[in-house]
Amino acid sequence: MRLSAIHTYPVKGCRRLDHDLAGVEPWGLAGDRRWMVVDAAGVGVTQRETTRLVALRATPRDGGLLLRAQGHDDLDVPEPAGGEPLAVRTFRNRKLPVPALAAGAAADAWISGFLGRAARLVWLAGPTRHIPSGDREHDTGDRVSFADAYPLLLATAASLDALNSWLAEAGEEPVPMARFRPNLVVEGTAAWAEDDWVGRPLRVGGLRFRAAGPCERCVVTTTDQETGVRGKEPLRTLGRHRNVRQKLLFGLHLVPAATGTIAVGDELSVQD
């Protein structure tokens, strides 16, 4: 088994960045989902609410972020240096708000103009817990980015192939891996092999991770990540074949057990 792709999403919900190698930090891949768009109540705005985010291209730089989108001037956003932290939440019903720093008036105006609605951009200076302890079978620990629940998401090419076979049988078009927005893609496994990795330690290259549970999928998977057009698949097919206790599953959450660097081509092994 080997790592075939690495992706980050600098602003939660934005277009992916592809990497040959990436740093691994306690809260996930370096530069992954440290920024988030929030509404007036401080709640994260994601592709669940607006598919417009597929067109947002965000590139981290040393000390800041470059925002780009067709029809808009590029905007360089420095990491906030201070100010009163804002209490923000990744979801409206999330119990634990986390402190984030406002990116500033220029960033807010750019994001609002891009989305066509009032919004703000915030930066997570200190990754911290936003999932209450005990809410997940395998806890994340005290540090996570603006990711929904866990620091990283892994998916396997073989499971996508199996899903696309089911879609073909139903007369539907195949879907690309981008629909599932993983951080790590692995080749060389059997389909759904990752189901058996839950709760076990993994090693990617020289770094250790903990498999923290399967990923429950939402409406974002039905959104074309190139166009923003939303349909019904693959959730309908996952509902027929991968419905476990009313959760539609694809992918595996990971928690880093060490820090360092991983690269495309690294071997993945599952420990006992």
Q: How many residues comprise the chain?
A: 272
d(C-alpha 150, C-alpha 201), whole Å: 15
Q: Where are the domains of the chain?
A: 2-7+19-26+133-270, 27-123
d(C-alpha 90, C-alpha 92), whole Å: 7
Q: Are 145 and 242 in contact (CB under 8 A)?
A: no
Output the CA–CA distances (angstroms, integers) from residue 14 to 38, 89, 130, in the order listed.
13, 17, 20
Q: Are 179 and 225 in contact (CB under 8 A)?
A: yes
Q: Provide Rg for the chain, Cα atoms.
A: 18
pTM of structure: 0.95
- Is residue 181 left, alpha or beta, with left meaning phi > 0 and alpha meaning psi from -120 to 50? left
Place of tokens 């996930």: 28
pLDDT along the chain (272 residues), means of 10: 98 98 96 96 95 98 96 97 90 80 97 98 85 60 82 97 98 98 98 96 95 94 98 98 96 95 98 82
Q: Does domain 2-7+19-26+133-270 have CATH number 1.25.40?
A: no
Task: Give the pLDDT score at 92.
Answer: 73
What are residue 101's phi and psi, to 5 degrees? -105, 140
Q: Are strands 152-156 and 184-187 parallel, antiparallel or unpaired?
A: parallel
Place of tokens 């919900």: 13
Q: How many CB atoms lie within 10 A of CB 221?
A: 22
